[in-house]
Structure 1
């Protein structure tokens, strides 16, 4: 799609935008990479302000954007670097709470329109939770438009005082890949053998090893699966601060669970899996849930955050923290191939209704145009 010159903001083209990303989780970083590529393809000039390691991992420059290294820190040097990068922008788009707060500081005293996307909810307790609420209010009251990747994030922005809060269309980068895709050199039996799951069901969970992921509940449920014949194997891909705690429990209780660390190719794991498990205390627009449904893998997930809206009736949804319900749901699904097939069919249908990358870029570009078009005089 080519830009229409007559509809160019300020009567000129190209539109100059800055995308601001903090440390960025995998979902928001991949989204910014996809968004940058789509905007550049439509003639928009894009600068991505992010730590250097983010550009190495997601190759924003490879998408045609300029990259400016801006550290995660909110110290004056970081804010000054961001202010310099935004000086000639027609519009700035920040992703996440900390990145958007730094952007608010950098744009102080300027009238540059600011779009903010919340991809996740910031988690904290005590004094830090109070601080985060103050940051949220400052960001929300400054932003021209707040975008949330799930309806509860949009509601949170409105309750915090947003003048304009909308649901973001967020297409999963790389969507549309065939569910039957697999590396011909690594067929499904080979992957299962490498994971130690030959002749037994394989259950896959993906996500950082932190307390919000509910892996303690997953290990509680895994005790019940030891009584099945054959015993299912749970494989958890991810790294994080709880690795040693979880590994100790797995060893002490002889649980059928393997922690395999960070894995670059989640679709490869899903292609070998019988079930996908998502046990988090909160999720917005879970990338793993989307990948599972695209891959045609039945999903068991917690009924939290944006998950119900995302998956509809295409997953088994459970209360967070209920190990017995999780154990029972897995046992039932493993014994019921017809139910698994029904979930696969529903998953394909549900995924077909999600926004595409093109639709995501189109929504964002429409908002940019809306905010940068000259307003008629009264």
Structure 2
């Protein structure tokens, strides 16, 4: 009986702690936004500080980038223009995996190791937004307690909003700002669900997929799209009683990779084991990455891949701007409400309503 009561108490305590943490993060985020709004933006000061590696000014610049307010548009263009000549000097690594795979723990161990090597590490962590409330926990800083303390690290959690696959709409521009601020390794952590992997793959140089052994998904979880994109599979939490299962999973993933076509980069995807908690396998992971960058820079794939990514993001930006202009058009706003009412009354179909609305913009 006492055991059950203790269990209930522990559970309640954990729930209470999570609630307080969530409330604290939400309060801290709101406080930061209020302070920035109160101070206002000095674009020249932001640019000067950003180029000197000032993390406060970098944060302000990213806040501006993420703003949808028209009044910030000129400042954003000025900051991007000033940053571009200093960008493209980093390596960009996408990291994905299902919730619970240990992405935050891995990133903290990996980031700390890179800092010991003299690197400056920026982490752009995209948190999922609720489709109901629109809210987001933004808890990555609390999960990377050691890394966040380092002067050589910058961690920016961002709500995914309604953008493609849960990747923040301005993540690519944020990468440019981080590079201009002197960060030479950019880690982009995805939500780990939906199509976020596709979007992150299109803005990174190396795509790392974290997996778990013993979760019952060694083969079932191998979805063609995600495996084709992965440049390496890292089986995390390969420690304790899970080590044997991790070794078996490594063999199965290696077999599965042989079923997929050869990559244009001429890189053969690797399967590695690691334990972010026990901090082993981290050095080998970076060694694998340096081998990849050496190969792809030598055969010109690295540069060609970035050119293709720029083309993709140009087209993506055009699509987003057209979409924004369409929905913000006064006549469309008025007619959209009327067409939705007609659909509700079964006086028209969604397809007919769409065609009608599109003709208004021609």
TM-score past 0.5 threshold? no
TM-score of the aligned structures, taking structure 2 as reference length: 0.37
TM-score of the aligned structures, taking structure 1 as reference length: 0.36
**Whose strand fraction is larger, Structure 1's or Structure 2's?**
1
